[in-house]
Amino acid sequence: MTLTRRHLFGLTAAAALAAPLRAGAADRAGTVREGNVLASKLLGHPVDYALYLPPGYEVDSRRYPVVYLLHGAGDGQPADWFRMAGIEVVLDRLILAGEMPPVIAVAPDGRRASGDPRATYFLDDADGRYRWAEMFLEEFIPQVESRYRSTGDPRMRGLMGISMGGFAAVLHQLRHPGLFGGVSALSAAFRTPEQFAAMKQEDYDLRFGGAFGSGLAGQARLNEAWARADVLSLLGQVEAGPFARWPRLYLTLAADDPFFAGNAAVHLALGEAGIRHRFTVTEGRHDWIFWRQALPEALRHLGAVLMRQYGE
């Protein structure tokens, strides 16, 4: 696969982070595999994914928790988690330090078939023709957890996303609290209803034309399909019980993020709904500089969830 300048920058940053670990603990490093595929009858084409296997996976017989990684929109792809974020380096370090249990990390491809630039937002399309979310829940997760040695326990299953992926990670956790133990969302692409209605037409159609219906403008965009995927609308239907004892949700973003207003609204609404969560804001922007800085704590949150360290 051809590496762009964007990927080369990410590799350089990841390599700088990796140097101390690789030099001193090469035998305790996980394995990254890109270009893997799983079949999907629902989508009608194979689904690509990138994979991290923890240190020792190849030589032991134990079963592991699984963390699913959802990438961003635009030119986002599964390999970004490794080429841009260097997540394997962070996982190696946290596992070695005991802050994270050894996990399998899987990044599915949230893009459509070749040639279709519209974002999926990891959702099903409004017309039902392209059903990414159904594929993920009904086909992808079961196949991954039978192909690799997972625990199969939903409490030992994490979900993490960046931007578009952060939006979807929180949404899927709230929709299906019994399927995921916890979620970390970095710069989740939450828009307020006003921001959503005011999006430029081309931008709206590219990002949401599939999920909510193309060609819609203004208030017409706030339709039933939108309401089903709007966290603020969904919270009125979510039972707080599964989220009341400990913070299964972790939201973090930069102070100059364009989705700040949407994230703040979600944070306040979660609190009003009685859903315990963590919410942090630090300096930065909606970019890889911030996401690389935020990644360790986002993973520590999932580690605390998976290792039951929140006092449940």
pLDDT digits (tens, 9 = 90+) for 291-302: 999 999 999 999
pTM for the predicted model, two decimal places: 0.90
Per-residue pLDDT, 311: 58
Burial zone of 269 (CB within 10 Å; 0-12 exposed, 13-18 middle, 19+ buried): middle
Which residues of the chain, if any, have pLDDT below 70? 1-27, 311-312
Per-residue pLDDT, 199: 98
Per-residue pLDDT, 203: 97
Q: Cα–Cα distance between 83 and 100 in angstroms, integer?
A: 21
Per-residue pLDDT, 246: 82
Q: Kindly write down the DSSP assignment for every residue of 147-166, as one continuous string.
A: HTTB---GGGEEEEEETHHH
Per-residue pLDDT, 116: 87
b/e 92-101 (16+ beta carbons within 10 angstroms → b): bbbbbeeebe
- Tokens representing residue 286 in the block: 């909606």
* HSE-CB for 47 with a 13 A CA cutoff: 29
Q: Cα–Cα distance between 82 and 298 in angstroms, integer?
A: 15
Per-residue pLDDT, 308: 85
Instruction: Identify the sign of the CA torsion 123, 181, 252, 34.
Output: negative
Q: Kindly write down the DSSP assignment for every residue of 198-242, as one continuous string.
A: TS-HHHHHHHHHHHH-TT--GGGGSSHHHHHH-HHHHGGG--SHH
CATH H-level superfamily of 5-306? Alpha/Beta hydrolase fold, catalytic domain (3.40.50.1820)
Per-residue pLDDT, 27: 64
Per-residue pLDDT, 310: 74
Domain definitions of the chain by residue range: 5-306
